[in-house]
Chains A and B, each alone.
Chain A
Amino acid sequence: MKEITLTVNDKQLSGKEGSTVLEICQANGIDVPTLCHLDGLSDVGACRMCVVEIEGERKPVPSCTYPARDGLVVKTDTERLEKYRRQILELMFAERNHFCMFCEQSGDCELQKLAYRYQMDNVRYPYQFPSQTMDALSDYLVIEHNRCVLCGRCVRVCSEIAANYALDFSGRGVKTLVSADLAQPVSESTCTTCGACVQACPTGAIFSKLSLYRGITDECQRITTVCPGCAVGCQLDVLVKDNNIVRIEAPELSGIKGPLCKEGRFELLRETRPRLTSPLVRGKQGELEECGWDRAMEIIAGKVNGSKDSFAGMISSRLPNETLSIFNRFINEAVGSGLLDTLDGDICRVISEGIKRFQNNGNGLAIECPIEEILDADCILIVGADPKNTNPIIGNLVQRARRQKGAKLIVVDPSRNVFPLWTDLWLKPKAGSEGALLAGLGKALVDKGLLILEKAGTELIQSLKKYDMVKVCSETGIDKGRLEMAAEMYGQAAHGVIIYGEGLLNSEDPSLITCILNLAALTGNVEGESLRVISLKPGANSRGAWELGLAKRGVERNGLKGLYLLLGDDQVNDGLIDRLKGIGFLVVQASYQSPVTAMADVVLPSPIWAEREGKYVSMDGNELEIRRALKPREGMLQDQEILVKLSKKLGRELITS
């Protein structure tokens, strides 16, 4: 980009051609007031707060949409501009119903801050008092039209960043409203409740029900940590006041993981499970009773000592590396059984085995690509995965690629189309026939000459060539034309990304994964050492647990005398309850009461996500730092401390440094 020079407030500033006047001012520390502008969103010049005077222009112009040119002479702070800005503010206040004294956003409101800045102590225009409605039906957010200034930041963040296109304007002129879909209540619309609009709104027009009156930004401490919700590893800014979480927001709204999702932004604040605060042991009546740490640990140590070889450990992969490592050593060194697995171990082993079989790959998950690749994709193939539900940010990236960049989207799923509004082609194989479908896809690619054959082993090519398309079609129930269409879309793509997940992983067939890797490799979707393939792993730190080797082998339940489950604040499902039935002695270290703690012989309280620190490894291999946002309550121990103390009781020091 060409370097340009302009004069702003009598100072020479340089910038890049293609920037707006506002961008160059902001980059040089010149404070131009804005309201509808938000970094990372397109500019629309809706509010006129950023008007500037430019020599040669007949009237003030909005700097956010004015392209900077070499030699421009700009004034940003004249008396005339100040007058106009104050007038604009008065008009905004007069247009709808702004009552700061009872607004939960007071103190955090950009409109209010601007009014203070321009000393707006009265309004010269008659107030309109329009009768506006308020949509408070959602459990998460409220759209309060009375306080809306129609800046459109929510509309733009919903389309440009969240790529959900749920919000838009309806009506015209003063009757314009921000609306979800065709003016539905937001809770009944296609809104995914990611909450990006809440963060984007400059006033109290869209606000979170969960953060109401809990505190304003200035009163809060901001701690940047990592979301424990899924393996994407989004950074969260946790705003804390008096050791309570006021709200959660994205450190960088327009970043790749910027919009966050319902889980990260809201659900973490909606925790209702009863918290465990003290160790519990079975009393004489068989009821769980509170007891001291020492007694609980002695009971555990006594049981472990009596059955060392058949005492196993299971851990949630929602816990950070540090906890996983200590647990690994606890089971291997202090207990000594080496019987160790993660709750999602089965799934990890399927992926692991599938990857290992692919060209005898020894690099493990490094074969997969970063999630950013999705944004550059021109074709996305989703196999047995529902990213919008399991990893919403992945769903968001898929929709961005599809809608904003025109990528083709193919969904392979036996029961439903996981992107109903966006899918170009939905292949619906009969349940259990995904393997045949993938092979059929390979066959169609061979037939169409879309595979890079020199990379494939002759054996593979031969086996694919011999494959019978008629058989594939009858096995999968998909007609040949559709398979060929999918082969063309994916095969002809310059940048094809395959995403697979739960649906495929639950099949417990690693060859499906090998097949997916082959498809990517043979269509040239290779980026250095890795392939454009992404697996959606179940836990926030599944990859960390995998890399630490915690899920190498499963634990055979038969013959187990005891089991130590380190659950942390993870959710309990029926599958887990089934797996724990009939175990002689069960220790559960968990944050919340659950059916699983009710089954336990000893329960130890564990910190929740916001009370922990350590490291996660995201699904695409980035090491992320978890910071402690909340002080744990008195008498609580960190997971590692518990394991170290318990090991000591078993006669083993685990402390290293």
Chain B
Amino acid sequence: MVAKVKVATAWLDCCSGCHMSFLDLDEALVDLAQAIELTATPVTDIKEFTPVDLGIIEGAVSNEHDEEVAKDLRANCKILMVWGDCACFGGICAMRNLFSIEEVLDRYYHTESSVGDRIPSSEDLPPLTKVRPVNQVVKVDCYVPGCPPSAKAIHYALAELLEERIPIIPSEIMRFD
């Protein structure tokens, strides 16, 4: 039996929709399970990365923690793929870049808040940064845009990678919405 390809995934600033779309692979997941082994992922709820062949990131880099996770996974994987518009372009998360961080926090915790009237602060809470696509923080090898990407696009990308080709999503199945 050929050794399974080790995969780790992470979600940064996102809605987890891309991982849900991955689960939409349905019966294709059965075949995929023969070929890959999931290590640290939100699905397995393992948080610490070990060296893997393929790292996958969903979500934009929106705070210092996101940046650290992205760098950690990059250091632990041979190929880094990103899923979704947030990771590829900044996406919905990046819309907050149109305002200052102070404005955003004020709006969330003062104007719209239903849980008190205080901006939380703790040394455990990572400070917000400008929202960036992943490729502005670490080197990215391949991209699957979409909000979320279709299961078809995710499947295409994984299949290509298993064939040891770097995928570029074909125009026909590429979507930004």
Contact across chains for B88 and A121 when beta carbons are under 8 A apart: yes
Nearest residue (CB) in B for A94 is B89
Q: Which residues of A contact B135 (CB under 8 A)?
A: 122, 124
Find out whether the CB atom of A121 lies under 8 angstroms from the CB atom of B169.
yes
Contact indicator B89/A122 (Cβ below 8 Å): yes
Interface size class, chain B: 20 to 34
**CB atoms of B91 and A99 under 8 A apart:** yes
Partner of A119, one of B94, B98, B171, B175: B171
A470 to B38 Cα, complex, angstroms: 101
The residues of B that contact A100 with a CB separation of less than 8 Å are 85, 147, 176-177
Question: Which residue of the partner chain, among B91, B94, B147, B174, contacts A116 with CB atoms under 8 Å?
Answer: B174
Knowing A121-B174, A124-B135 touch, does A99 contact B92 (C-beta < 8 A)? yes
Nearest CB to that of B167 among chain A residues? A121
Q: Cβ of B133: which chain A residues have Cβ within 8 Å of it? A: 122-123, 127
Expressed in whole angstroms, the minimum distance between the Cβ of B28 and any Cβ of chain A is: 22
A116→B142 CA distance, assembly (Å): 15
Contact residues, A362-409 vs B (CB, 8 A):
none
Task: Check B97 for interface membership: any CB of A closer than 8 A.
Answer: yes
Cross-interface CB contact of A122 among B88, B95, B97, B98, cutoff 8 Å? B88
Q: Using a CB-CB cutoff of 8 Å, which residues 160-177 of chain B contact chain A?
A: 168-171, 174-177
Decide: A121 and B171 in contact? CB cutoff 8 A: no
State how many angstroms separate the Cβ of A152 from the closest Cβ of chain B: 24
User: Given contacts A121-B168, A126-B136, is CB(A102)–CB(B92) below 8 Å?
Assistant: yes
Would you call A326 an interface residue if the criterion is a C-beta within 8 Å of the partner chain's C-beta atoms? no
- Measured between beta carbons, the chain B residues less than 8 angstroms from A123 are 89, 133
B144 contacts the other chain (CB 8 A): yes
Known contacts: A100-B177, A121-B88, A122-B135. The answer to whether A116 contacts B171 by CB under 8 A is yes
Residues of A within 8 A of B145 (CB): 121-122
Complex CA–CA separation, A99 to B86 (angstroms): 10
Most buried by A among B89, B144, B171: B89
Most buried by B among A99, A106, A131: A99
**B90 on the A face (CB < 8 A):** yes
User: Is A500 an interface residue, CB under 8 A from the partner?
Assistant: no
Q: Specify which chain A residues have a CB less than 8 angstroms from the CB of B22 in the assembled complex.
A: none
The secondary structure that dominates the A interface is loop
With both beta carbons as reference points, the residue of chain B lying nearest to A101 in the complex is identified as: B147
A127 to chain B, nearest CB (A): 6
The answer to whether the Cβ of A93 comes within 8 Å of any Cβ in the partner chain is yes
Q: Which residue of A lies closest to B175 (CB)?
A: A116
Do B170 and A119 have beta carbons less than 8 Å apart?
yes
User: A117 and B92: CB pair below 8 A?
Assistant: no
Which residue of the partner chain, among B95, B168, B174, contacts A99 with CB atoms under 8 Å?
Answer: B95
The proximity string for A residues 94-127 relative to B, scoring 1 for CB distances below 8 Å and 0 otherwise, is 0001011111001100001001110101111011
Residue in A107, A116, A129 whose beta carbon sits within 8 Å of that of B97 in the complex: A129
A93 to chain B, nearest CB (A): 7
The contact of B92 among A101, A107, A112, A127, by CB within 8 Å, is A101
Within 8 A of A (CB), among B105-125: none
A131 to B94 CA separation, bound complex (whole angstroms): 13
User: B4-26: which have CB < 8 Å to A?
Assistant: none
Q: Which of A265-301 contact B (CB under 8 A)?
A: none
Assess A97 versus B177: contact at CB under 8 Å? Given A119-B170, A122-B143, A123-B133.
no
Residues of B within 8 A of A117 (CB): 171
Q: Can you report 13 A-B residue pairs in the complex whose CB atoms are below 8 A from each other?
A: A97-B98, A101-B177, A103-B177, A112-B176, A119-B169, A119-B170, A119-B174, A121-B145, A126-B136, A127-B90, A127-B94, A129-B97, A129-B98
Residues of A within 8 A of B (CB): 93, 97, 99-103, 106-107, 112, 115-117, 119, 121-124, 126-127, 129, 131
Instruction: Pick the 3 closest A-B CB pairs, nearest first.
Output: A100-B176, A101-B147, A121-B143
Using A121-B88, A122-B88 as known contacts, list a sample of 19 further A-B pairs with CB atoms less than 8 Å apart, ordered by residue number in A: A93-B89, A97-B95, A100-B85, A100-B176, A101-B85, A107-B177, A112-B176, A115-B176, A116-B174, A116-B176, A119-B170, A121-B144, A121-B168, A121-B169, A122-B133, A122-B143, A123-B89, A126-B136, A129-B97
